[in-house]
C-alpha cells in the first residue's frame, strides 16, 4: 500500500558469529568454522580450518581457539600467521585473504603435534567474539525453552497448509511490522522493542525494508546492516524476525531481481544459523501476472536456499498480495501453477476498511489448500490512513485465529496516519508502553496480540 514521509537513519550492527567445528565445537550465528583432520600419524597430524563469514564484511580477521590437551602443539601452518600461547592458538589473515565478504570462506591449516590424545579444538572465536550465537559472545535469549516465542517453538517449517514449530505442531505468530526504515528508524530502539516483546507480548517483528522510495537502492550496505541489526534485536528478545523486501513501486518484482539476489544472498548467509528468521521476498506485487511473480520467486528462493536451506520463505501474490482478488482473480491461479519450492508460504494482505467479506471468503477457501501468512494488514483503508474499522478488523482477526494464520499489523511507528500504533512524536520519547501513547489502531491491535499464545509442545 502507499505510504508517506521521508527521513533517513542508518545504524551500524555488531557482528554476529557462529562456529560449526568438529564434535567439540558449538554451533552459533554469524560464522562457520569447519575443522577437519586430513591425516594423523604417531605424535602428529595435519588439520584444516575453513572459516566462513556469516556476519558483516571483514577487512581483517583473527581466529582463536583452544587445543584441549596439554600435549597438542601447532608446529607450522599456512594461509594464516599462526601462533600459540599455552593452549590458545591464534591465526591471523594474511595480505591475500584478510578481507572476508559476507558469505565468503577462507581455508587455512596447520601441522600439529600431540602426546597422548588429539581431541578437536574448542572455543572458536572470530575477531575476539565467542562463537556462541550472538553478537556479543553471550548465549542469546530465545535459545532453548526460555518462555519466549523462539525459545518455545524453535526453527519453524511449513507442514501441510500450516506454519509449524519444532514439535511439528501448527502455530500462529502475531506481531507488528515496522514502517519504512528510511523514515522511522528512530522508532526501533531498545525501549520500543522491549515494549513490543514484554508489554505487547508479540511473537514477531516484521522488518519492512523498502527497496525504492529512498530505501535499499540508495545505500545497499547501510540498509543491509540495519536489517541485520534488527534481526539481532528480535533474537535477543526471543521474537521471530520477518525480513521484508518491501517492493511496491514498480509493482513487478523482476525489476528488482538483481537487488533481491544480492540482498538475500547477504542476509541469508549472515543469519542462516539463527532460528528466528523468516524471509518475505516481495512485499506487494501489483500490475503484474502470477506467472511473472512465480518466475521471480523461482530465481530468488534458490539464492536463499544456498545459504539457509531450511528457513521459511513467503512469496507475494498478485494484486498487492491479495491472492489476486484485487485484480479480479483468486487463489486458483496459484493452485494451478504453484511455486516450485518447498517450505514456502503465500502472502495475503488486507486493510480492514477496504477489504471485507469477499476477501474473507477467499481466504477461508484458500487456507484449506495453500499455506498462507498475513505478512501485512491494517485496521484502516488501503491507503494506510482513515478511520479504524473495528468491526471488519475484529472479523478478520477472529478468522485468522480460527485458521491459525500468522499475521503482522501495519505499523509499529508514530507516523501521522490512521494505521500507526503510536501517536505522533511518541518515538522522540521513551514511553512505548502506556495507554496514552497508543492510537485507536494501536490499542485495538495490542489488545489482540497481548492475549496468551497457544503454542503446543507435544
Q: Catalytic pick from 284, 331, 333, 417? A: 284
DSSP string, 69-122: STT-EEEEEESSEEEEETTEEEEE--TTT--B-TT-EEEEEEEEE-SS--PPPE
DSSP 49: E
CA dihedral 89, 91, 92, 93 (to 10 degrees): -170
Q: Which helix (H) or strand (E) holds 403?
A: helix 390-403
C-alpha grid cell, residue 285:
506485487
Q: Catalytic pick from 213, 333, 376, 417? A: 376
DSSP string, 285-318: --SS-HHHHHHHHHHHHHHHHHH-TT--EEE--H
* β-strands 62-66, 122-126 pairing: antiparallel
The answer to whether residue 284 is catalytic is yes
Q: How many residues does the chain have?
A: 458
C-alpha grid cell, residue 306:
544456498
CA dihedral 401, 402, 403, 406 (to 10 degrees): 0
For residues 82 and 64, what is the distance between their CA atoms, to the nearest angstrom? 10
Non-local CB neighbours of 92 within 8 Å, separated by 6+ positions? 61, 62, 63, 80, 81
Structural contact between residues 131 and 28, judged by C-beta atoms closer than 8 angstroms: yes
Could you give the residue numbers annotated as active site? 284, 376
Amino acid at each position: 500500500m502507499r505510504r508517506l514521509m521521508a527521513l533517513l537513519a542508518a545504524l551500524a550492527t555488531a557482528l554476529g558469529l557462529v562456529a560449526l567445528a568438529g564434535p567439540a565445537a558449538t554451533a552459533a550465528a554469524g560464522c562457520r568454522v569447519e575443522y577437519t583432520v586430513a591425516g594423523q600419524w604417531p605424535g602428529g597430524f595435519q588439520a584444516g580450518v575453513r572459516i566462513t563469514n556469516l556476519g558483516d564484511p571483514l577487512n581483517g580477521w583473527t581466529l582463536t581457539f583452544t587445543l584441549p590437551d596439554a600435549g597438542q602443539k601447532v608446529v607450522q601452518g599456512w594461509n594464516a600467521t599462526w601462533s600459540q600461547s599455552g593452549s590458545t592458538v591464534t591465526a591471523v589473515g594474511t595480505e591475500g585473504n584478510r578481507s572476508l565478504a559476507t558469505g565468503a570462506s577462507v581455508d587455512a591449516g596447520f601441522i600439529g603435534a600431540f602426546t597422548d590424545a588429539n581431541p578437536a579444538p574448542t572455543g572458536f572465536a572470530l575477531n575476539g567474539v565467542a562463537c556462541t550465537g550472538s553478537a556479543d559472545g553471550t548465549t542469546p535469549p530465545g535459545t532453548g525453552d526460555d518462555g519466549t516465542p523462539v525459545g518455545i517453538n524453535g526453527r519453524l517449517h511449513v507442514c501441510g497448509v500450516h506454519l509449524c514449530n519444532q514439535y511439528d505442531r501448527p502455530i500462529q505468530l502475531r506481531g507488528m511490522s515496522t514502517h519504512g526504515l528510511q523514515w522511522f528508524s528512530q522508532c526501533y530502539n531498545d525501549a520500543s522493542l522491549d515494549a513490543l516483546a514484554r508489554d505487547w507480548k508479540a511473537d514477531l517483528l516484521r522488518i519492512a525494508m523498502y527497496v525504492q522510495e529512498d530505501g535499499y537502492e540508495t545505500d545497499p550496505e547501510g540498509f543491509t546492516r540495519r536489517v541485520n541489526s534488527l534481526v539481532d534485536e528480535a533474537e535477543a528478545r526471543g521474537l521471530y524476525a520477518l525480513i521484508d523486501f518491501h517492493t511496491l513501486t514498480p509493482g513487478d518484482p523482476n525489476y528488482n531481481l538483481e537487488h533481491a539476489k544480492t540482498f538475500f544472498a547477504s542476509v541469508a548467509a549472515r543469519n542462516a544459523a539463527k532460528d528466528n528468521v523468516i524471509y518475505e521476498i516481495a512485499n506487494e506485487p501489483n500490475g503484474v501476472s502470477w506467472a511473472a511473480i512465480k518466475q521471480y520467486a523461482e530465481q530468488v528462493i534458490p539464492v536463499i536456499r544456498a545459504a539457509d536451506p531450511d528457513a521459511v520463505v513467503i512469496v507475494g501474490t498478485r494484486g498487492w498480495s491479495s491472492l489476486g482478488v484485487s485484480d479480479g482473480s483468486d487463489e486458483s491461479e496459484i493452485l494451478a501453477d504453484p511455486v516450485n519450492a518447498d517450505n514456502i508460504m503465500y502472502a495475503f494482505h488486507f486493510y480492514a476498511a477496504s477489504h471485507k467479506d469477499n476477501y474473507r471468503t477467499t481466504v477461508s477457501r484458500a487456507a484449506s489448500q495453500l499455506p498462507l501468512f498475513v505478512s501485512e494488514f491494517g485496521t484502516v483503508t488501503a491507503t494506510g490512513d482513515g478511520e479504524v474499522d473495528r468491526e471488519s478488523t475484529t472479523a478478520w482477526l477472529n478468522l485468522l485465529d480460527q485458521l491459525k494464520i500468522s499475521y503482522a499489523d501495519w505499523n509499529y511507528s508514530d507516523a501521522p496516519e490512521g494505521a500507526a500504533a503510536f501517536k505522533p512524536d511518541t518515538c522522540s520519547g521513551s514511553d512505548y508502553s502506556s495507554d496514552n501513547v497508543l492510537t485507536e489502531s494501536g490499542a485495538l491491535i495490542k489488545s489482540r496480540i497481548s492475549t496468551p499464545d497457544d503454542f503446543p509442545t507435544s
